[in-house]
A and B are shown apart, each in its own frame.
Chain A
C-alpha cells in the first residue's frame, strides 16, 4: 500500500510505503521510516521525552522514552528507532516503567528540575520516582576543572549532584548548569543542526561530563554569537534570558500575567516569526514557533535579543 505522506505545504510530494506494527497490542500503520515515537504519537500513546525535539536529530541519550520491542535484548529508544514491519512494541510494561522511573529518579536526584516543564514533574509522579532515596544532596563539587578519570571519594550518605554557580558572563542569557540534564540539544543547536557556530560542546566524561566552551572560557571570549537558539531548545531552563532569570530571582516571574504576541521580526527580509512574551508591558522573553517552515524556531541575535528599542521608544527614561 502506498499513500501520500503529509508534508509541509509546497514540499515535494513523496510516496512512502506504509508499515504495520502493534503498540501495546493495538495495530498501527505508519509511513516507512517513522520512528516508534512518531508511531506512538499517531495513536495518542504518550511516551515521555526529554532530549528529543522535533526540529533536531534524535540523540537518544536521556533514555526516558525507552520501550520494549519483542525480540530485543534491551529496551530501545522510541525517539530514534525506526519502525519495521511486524514490530511488537510495549510502552507500559513493568520493565519499561522501571527504567523510566529510574531515569527520572536519577535525573531528579542529581539535577535541579525546578524550572523544567510541567510534564517532567507529572512523569516523576506518574512513574513513582523517589529521588530522595539516593540521599540528601552532597555539597557542591568542582566540575569545570574536574580531572578526567578521577574523582573525590564519595561522601557517605549524600547524593552527588551537578550543582554549581550560575554562569552570568554576558547581558543576554545565563547558564545555570545545576539544571542541566545533558540532553545535547544546545550543542546541536549551536553547531551543525542550526547555528554552525560550535561555541559549546560536551566536555569531560562520566558524571563530570558537562557543557562547556573551550577551557571553560566565558561566553564573550568564545565563539558565541548570542543567537539564543540554545535557550530555545533547553528543556529545563538551564539556559535562560537574563530578564527571566532576574524576575524569577525576585519572585516576580508569573506566566499567568504574561501575554504572548506573535509578530514578524523587523530587522531583515527573512521574516522570522517572533513570539514576544510580555509581562507588565515589558518584553521578558522572545521565542519563535518550532513549526515555522523557514526558521524552525531559530532566530539570530537581533530577533532574539534586539527588542529593547521597542520598549524605550518614546519613553522619557
Chain B
C-alpha cells in the first residue's frame, strides 16, 4: 500500500498523544524525521502492519482524551505510524460514539436516557436537562464566547440501579472519563461551574486548539456507588460492607461473595478472601481436569447463547492451530445491564484470575479483557489488579510457579453496543470496524487474529471460579437440572430495592421481585422488561415464571443478560418502545440490509402508530412489522438484527403499543432464540 496522508501536520500535543501509546517513531518510514539511513533501509511490510493495527483503538483513545477530537493532522500521523490508510481509520473511528472528528467543547456529558432510567424516573431523564440547559449539543459554560461543556443523550450507561447516570468525557492534560450516578440537572450545573470558572486570566472554553489543560479533576468526582442489597453494601467505594441483610440462601452469595466486603484495590485482601485458590486448583487439575469439572458442573454460558462452557473450552484446547487466545467479554451494553460493572469495580481480581484459568486451560498465552468504554472505573481497577497480579507472578511467563505462561491486556471500547457481539469484538481489538463476522467459522476455530479463540462473558468466567471452588458436581446441585448454578439479575426501574441480585437458577420472577421488595411504592405491576432491549415484556401473570434457561425458553422469553426492569402502572411503555427502536437504529453496525434499513423502518412504523397516522391502515402497519420481524430475525448477520424486533413484537402481543389492540397471548415475542446467538455463539 502506498500510504497517502494529508499535508496538514500533527501538532506537538497530538504527536505526544500518539507517542504515549506507540513510543517515538523508529525511522522516517513511520512518521519520524528523515535521515540519510532511511534512504538505504526500509522498515515496513505487511506482517508488521498487521501486527500494529491492533494498537489503533488505544491510539484513538489517547488522541481523544488528550485533544478532544481526531484532526486530519493527527489522523495522518497515526496512519504513518501504524501503516493504516486514513480512510480506514476514519471508518473505524466513526463507528464509535466516544470519538469525535470535529472540534467541540472539551467536556462532553453523556446523559443516559435509556429504558431503565426512563422507567425509574417516569419519563425522559434528559427533559429537565434540556429545559434548563437547552437542547443536546448546547454550548455551556461559555467564557470568552467559547464553550467549555456540552451534553448529549446516551444509551444505557450501566448504572441502572441509580435510575440516572452520566458519563463525563473530558479532553486535555487531565483528559479521560468518569461516571456520575445518580445524575441530575444540578450535577450538570455543578460540572459547568467547575469547568468554566470565572477566574481572571484562566483559559476559558476551548476552540479545538491543543494547548488546553484539563478543566475538571475527574478523579475528584464522587465514585459512583453500586447497590447490592443482598450483601447489604450500599457504598462499595470503600472496602467493607455493612453485613448481609437479606441473603436468603443458606449457601450464601456465591459470585457476589467478595463484593462490598473485600478491598478491590488489594491483592492481599483478595487472597485472604479465598482468591487465587481456584487458580491453584486449576493448575493441580490440569486442562483435562478443569474441563471435566466444567462438564460435571453443566455450566452454560451466561452471555445469551447458553452454550456449554466445558465444550467450548475443550474445543479451543484441542485445536491444533496456534496460538490460541482467550477473551473476556466485558462490553456489557445491553440496556438495563450493570452486573459486569459491579464486579469490575468491586471484585476486579476475580476476573483477572478467572481469565488466567481460562488461558492456561485452553492453551492461550495471551488474553484480552474488553471493557466497555463507559466503564472508566472498572477498567482502571482491572489495570491495577492485573499489574499487581503480574508483580506477584500470577500473570506472566510462569503463572503461580506452574511453568505456564499467560498474560492479559485490557482493551477499552469506545461506545458501540455491537462490539459486544463476539466476532465484532474481535474486529474491534484488531483495529477494524466493529462489524460482526459471518459464522461459520466459529471463534473456537477462527477467532481473534484468525486463530482459535475462547470467549466468555464476565458472569460465565466468574462462575468458573465457583465451580473450581466447590467442585463441578456440587455446583451442578445448585439451580435446576437444566440450568445449574446461580444467576445474576440486574433489577432496576420501579422496584423498591434496585440493585444486583444473585439467586439460584429456577427462582421464580415473583420471588426475585419480592427479594427486591416488590414494586416501588406498592404500585400495581404493569409489566417486566426481561432481557433488555433485545428481550421481551412479560406481565403480572408471569410471576411464576422460573428464571432458568429452559423456563424462559418454554415461556417464549429470554433471560438475556439478566435484565429485569420493573414497570409499574405509571410507566409509559410507548415511550420505552420508541427509545428501544431508536437504540437499535443507532447501534446497528449498518453492515447487512435487514438490520441497517429494518431498524430504521421499525422506528418509522412505531412513530406512525404512536402518532395515530398509519400509512394505509393499522392492519397494514402490523403486517409490515411482521415482515420486518421475519426478515430481521431470519436474514440478519448477527444477533443484534435478529433480536431488534423482539421487544416490539412482544409488546404488540400484550397490547402495549399505542393504538394497537393486543391479542392477549402470554409472554412471548419471537426472536428469543436469536438473542441466544448474540453474544456467545459457541463452537
Given contacts A181-B593, A206-B588, contact A197 B628 (CB under 8 A): no
- What A residues does B593 contact at CB under 8 A? 61-64, 103, 106-107, 181-182
Within 8 A of A (CB), among B56-94: 72, 75, 85-91, 94
Chain A residues in 8 Å Cβ range of B637: 60-61, 63
CB distance from B625 to the nearest CB of A (A): 12
Contact B4 A182 (CB under 8 A): no
Interface size on A, residues (CB 8 A): 61
Instruction: Point out the residues of chain B lying under 8 angstroms from A182, CB to CB.
Output: 590, 593, 596
Residue of A at shortest CB range from B583? A149
A73 to B585 Cα, complex, angstroms: 24
Q: How far is the CB of B408 from chain A (nearest CB, A)?
A: 28
> B434 — nearest CB in chain A belongs to which residue?
A205
Which residues of chain B come closer than 8 Å to A107, judged between CB atoms? Answer: 593, 597
Q: Does B258 reach chain A (CB closer than 8 Å)?
A: no
Q: B172 → chain A, closest Cβ, in Å?
A: 22
Measured in the bound complex, the distance between the Cα atoms of B601 and A197 in whole Å is 35
CB pair B630 A98 closer than 8 Å? yes
Q: Would you call A133 and B615 a contact (CB within 8 A)? A: yes
For residue A1, CB closer than 8 A to chain B, the reply is no
Q: Are A223 and B86 in contact (CB under 8 A)?
A: yes
- A163 at the B interface (CB under 8 A): no
Interface of A is mostly: loop
Q: Are B97 and A154 in contact, CB atoms less than 8 angstroms apart?
A: no
Q: B416 to chain A: which residues have CB within 8 Å?
A: 205
In chain B between 604 and 628, which residues have their CB closer than 8 angstroms to a CB of chain A? 604, 607-608, 611, 613, 615-616, 620, 624, 627-628
Instruction: Please state if B94 and A206 are interface contacts (CB–CB under 8 Å).
Output: no
For A212, list chain B residues within 8 Å (CB). Answer: 87, 90-91, 94
Using a CB-CB cutoff of 8 Å, which residues 340-371 of chain B contact chain A? none
**Nearest Cβ on chain B to A21's Cβ, whole angstroms:** 16
Give the dominant DSSP class at B's interface.
helix
Kindly list chain A residues whose C-beta atoms are within 8 Å of the C-beta of B628.
102
Within the complex, the shortest CB–CB distance from B479 to chain A, in Å, comes to: 25
- Nearest-neighbor residue (CB-CB) of A68 within chain B: B634
Of B591, B627, B636, chain A has the most CB atoms within 10 Å of the CB of B591
Determine whether A276 belongs to the interface, using a CB cutoff of 8 Å to chain B.
Answer: no
B635 and A103 form a contact (CB under 8 A): yes
Is A20 interfacial (CB-CB < 8 Å)? no
Cβ-neighbour of A157 out of B95, B608, B620 (below 8 A)? B608
- Nearest residue (CB) in A for B601 is A134
CA distance A212 to B630 in the complex (A): 31
Please tell me if B438 contacts chain A, counting CB pairs below 8 Å: yes
Q: Which residues of B contact A307 (CB under 8 A)?
A: none
CA separation between A212 and B85, bound complex, in Å?
12
The proximity string for A residues 82-124 relative to B, scoring 1 for CB distances below 8 Å and 0 otherwise, is 0000000000000100110111001101100000000000000
Task: Please tell me if B592 contacts chain A, counting CB pairs below 8 Å.
Answer: yes
A60 to B592, CA, bound (A): 8
Q: Would you call B600 and A207 a contact (CB within 8 A)?
A: yes
Counting CB contacts under 8 A, is B335 at the interface? no
Residues B615 and A201 in contact, CB atoms below 8 Å apart: no
Q: B633 interface residue, CB < 8 Å from A?
A: yes
Q: Is A213 an interface residue (CB 8 A)?
A: yes
Tell whether, in the assembled complex, residue B101 and residue A215 are in contact, meaning their CB atoms are under 8 Å apart. Answer: yes
Most buried by B among A149, A158, A208: A149
Interface string of A147-191 (1 = CB under 8 A from B): 011110110111110000000000000000000011000000001
Contact call B592/A200, Cβ cutoff below 8 A: no
B599 is an interface residue with CB less than 8 A from chain A: yes
* Complexed CA–CA distance, A201 and B89 (Å): 9
Residue of chain B at shortest CB distance from A190: B87
How far in angstroms is the closest Cβ of chain A from B642? 7
The smallest beta-carbon distance between B530 and chain A, in angstroms, is: 21
Are B613 and A156 within 8 A (Cβ)? yes
Asked whether any CB of chain B lies closer than 8 Å to the CB of A77, the reply is: yes
| Residues of chain A within 8 A of B90, CB atoms compared | 201, 203, 212-215
Cβ-closest chain B residue relative to A107 = B593
Partner of A135, one of B433, B604, B636, B673: B604
Residue of B nearest to A184 (CB): B591
Using Cβ atoms and an 8 Å threshold, which residues of chain A touch B97?
A: 148-149
- Set of chain B residues within 8 Å of A150, measured between Cβ atoms: 136, 152-153, 586
| B631:A206 contact, CB within 8 angstroms | no
A202 is an interface residue with CB less than 8 A from chain B: yes
A98 to B629, CA, bound (A): 11
Q: Does A221 contact B (CB under 8 A)?
A: yes
Residues in A with CB closer than 8 Å to B95 are 148, 203-205
Judging by beta carbons under 8 Å apart, are B601 and A159 in contact?
A: yes
Q: Does B603 contact A (CB under 8 A)?
A: yes
Most chain A CB within a 10 A radius of its CB, from B87, B582, B586, B634:
B87
Residue of chain B at shortest CB distance from A204: B94
A75: which B residues are within 8 A, CB to CB?
Answer: 634-635
- Whether A209 sits at the interface, judged by CB under 8 Å, is yes
Q: For residue A66, which residues in chain B have a CB less than 8 angstroms away from its CB?
A: 634-635
A196 CB-CB contact with B under 8 Å: yes
Task: Give chain B interface residues in 567-592, CB to chain A under 8 Å.
Answer: 582, 585-592
Contact indicator A63/B594 (Cβ below 8 Å): yes
The residue on A at minimum CB distance from B586 is: A149
Interface pair A198/B594, CB less than 8 Å apart = no
CA distance A88 to B637 in the complex (A): 21
**Complex Cα distance A202/B3, Å?**
18
Question: Given the complex of chains A and B, what is the CA–CA distance between A199 and B90 in angstroms?
Answer: 11
Query: Nearest B residue to A153 by beta-carbon distance?
Result: B607
Bound CA span A128–B560, Å: 36
* CA distance in complex: A145, B90 (Å): 12
B6 within 8 Å of A (CB atoms): yes
Which of A74, A158, A214 counts the most B-chain CB atoms under 10 A from its CB? Answer: A214
What per-residue 1/0 map shows which CB atoms of A222-263 lie under 8 Å from chain B? 110000000000000000000000000000000000000000
* CB-contact partner of B607 in A154, A202, A203, under 8 A: A154
Considering only CB atoms, which chain A residue lies closest to B4 in the complex?
Answer: A223
Q: Are A148 and B585 in contact (CB under 8 A)?
A: no
A80 within 8 A of B: yes
Closest chain A residue to B633, Cβ basis: A74
- How far is A91 from B90 in the complex, measured between Cα atoms in Å? 39
> Are the C-beta atoms of B85 and A156 separated by less than 8 Å?
no
Task: Decide: B597 and A207 in contact? CB cutoff 8 A.
Answer: yes
Check: B674 CB closer than 8 A to any chain A CB: yes
Report whether B415 and A149 are in contact in the complex, using a CB–CB cutoff of 8 Å.
yes
CB distance from A181 to the nearest CB of B (A): 7
Chain A residue with Cβ nearest B99: A148
In the complex the two chains form, what is the Cα distance from A160 to B600 in whole Å? 8
User: In the assembly, what is the distance between CA of A208 and CA of B586, in Å?
Assistant: 9
Interface centre among B75, B433, B586, B588, by most chain A C-beta atoms within 10 angstroms, is B586
In the bound complex, do residue B4 and residue A222 qualify as a contact, i.e. CB atoms below 8 Å apart?
yes
Write out the residue numbers on chain A whose beta carbons fall within 8 Å of the beta carbon of B91.
201-203, 212
The answer to whether B438 touches A74 (Cβ under 8 A) is: no
Inside 8 A of B677's CB, which chain A residues have their CB? 73
- Mask, A13-55, CB within 8 Å of B = 1, is 0000000000000000000000000000000000000000000
Q: List 8 other contacts, CB 8 Å, given A99-B634, A102-B594, A191-B88.
A: A73-B674, A103-B593, A156-B608, A198-B1, A204-B95, A205-B586, A206-B585, A207-B599
Residues of chain A touching chain B, judged by Cβ–Cβ distance below 8 Å, are 60-64, 66, 73-75, 77, 80, 95, 98-99, 101-103, 106-107, 109-110, 133-135, 145, 148-151, 153-154, 156-160, 181-182, 191, 196-209, 212-215, 217, 221-223
Q: List the interface of chain B (C-beta within 8 A of A).
A: 1-4, 6, 72, 75, 85-91, 94-97, 99, 101-102, 136, 152-153, 155, 415-416, 418, 433, 438, 582, 585-594, 596-601, 603-604, 607-608, 611, 613, 615-616, 620, 624, 627-628, 630-631, 633-637, 642, 673-674, 677
9 example contacts (A-B, Cβ-Cβ < 8 A) are as follows A95-B634, A106-B593, A135-B615, A148-B95, A198-B1, A206-B596, A207-B588, A207-B590, A209-B596
* 7 pairs of A and B residues whose beta carbons are closest in the complex: A209-B590, A198-B85, A201-B91, A102-B631, A214-B86, A106-B597, A149-B97
